[in-house]
Amino acid sequence: MAKVQWLGHSCFKITSDSGKIIIIDPWLEGNPAAACSVNDITAANLVLVTHDHFDHISNAAQIVQKTGATLIAAVETAGKLKAGGVPEQQVVFYGMGMNIGATAEVDGISVTMTQAFHSSESASPVGYIIKLENGCTIYHAGDTGVFASMVTLGVLYPMDLALLPIGGVFTMDPKQAATAVKLLGAKKVIPMHYKTFPILVQDAGIFAEMVKKEVPEAEVVILSPGQEYTV
pLDDT for the residue 75? 98
Measured CA distances, 7 to 10, 25, 188, 226 (Å): 8, 10, 18, 5
CATH number of the domain within which 49 lies = 3.60.15.10
Q: Strands, E, within the chain: which ranges?
A: 3-8, 11-15, 21-24, 46-48, 70-72, 103-106, 109-115, 126-131, 137-140, 161-165, 188-192, 219-220, 228-230
State the pTM of this model: 0.98
Which parts of the chain register pLDDT below 50?
none
Which domain does 23 fall in, by range?
3-230
What share of the chain in percent tops pLDDT 90?
A: 99
Structure confidence at residue 1 (pLDDT): 84
Domain count, the chain: 1
pLDDT 10s digits, 158-210? 999 999 999 999 999 999 999 999 999 999 999 999 999 999 999 999 999 99
In one letter, which amino acid is 48?
L
Count of CA atoms in the C-beta half-sphere (13 A) of 51: 22
* Partners of 190 in the β-ladder: 163
The reported pLDDT for the residue numbered 71 is 98
Question: What 3-state class would DSSP assign to 81?
Answer: helix
